Amino acid sequence: MVNRILKVQDLIHKEIAFLIIKDLNNPLLKMITISGVKVSKDLKYSEIYFTSLDKDIDKIQSELNKASGFIRNELSRRIHLKRLPSIRFKYDDTAEKSQKIDNIIKKVKIE
C-alpha cells in the first residue's frame, strides 16, 4: 500500500507541475516550484507543497487554491484512478526553517 501511495504522489507531482507551466495563464503562478506532494492513506486528500521566490506567498497560495478545481478536473482526465484526492496547496517553508536553524548554529559556534 505504501508503494502505491508513493507512486500516486509522484504522478500527481509531475502532472501538477506540468499543468501549472502549460495550462494556467496566471503570471503570478509561473514563478513557483512544486516541492512535494503528500497523499492521505485513503487517497481522499492531498497537500501540494510549493516554493516561490516571490514574497507574496499568501496571494500565490490563494490563487493556487482557487485554481485547484480546474487542476483537479484536468488531473482526472490525465490520471486514471478510482478515487482522485482533493487538492490543497500549502507553502513549503522548510528552506526558511533550515536557514533559521543554520543561523542559530552559527551564532552558537561564534559564542
- pTM of the predicted protein model: 0.84
What is the C-alpha separation between 39 and 22, in angstroms, rounded?
23
In tens, the pLDDT along 15-44 reads 999 998 888 888 888 889 999 999 999 989
Fold of 2-110: GMP Synthetase; Chain A, domain 3 (3.30.300)
CB distance 50 to 60 below 8 Å? yes
% pLDDT > 70, the chain: 99
d(CA 94, CA 48): 14
Asked if residue 82 has pLDDT above 90, the reply is no
Task: Give burial (CB, 10 Å; 0-12/13-18/19+) of 56.
Answer: exposed
**Cβ(62)–Cβ(28) below 8 Å:** no
User: Which is nearest to 85 in space by CA: 54, 41, 29?
Assistant: 41
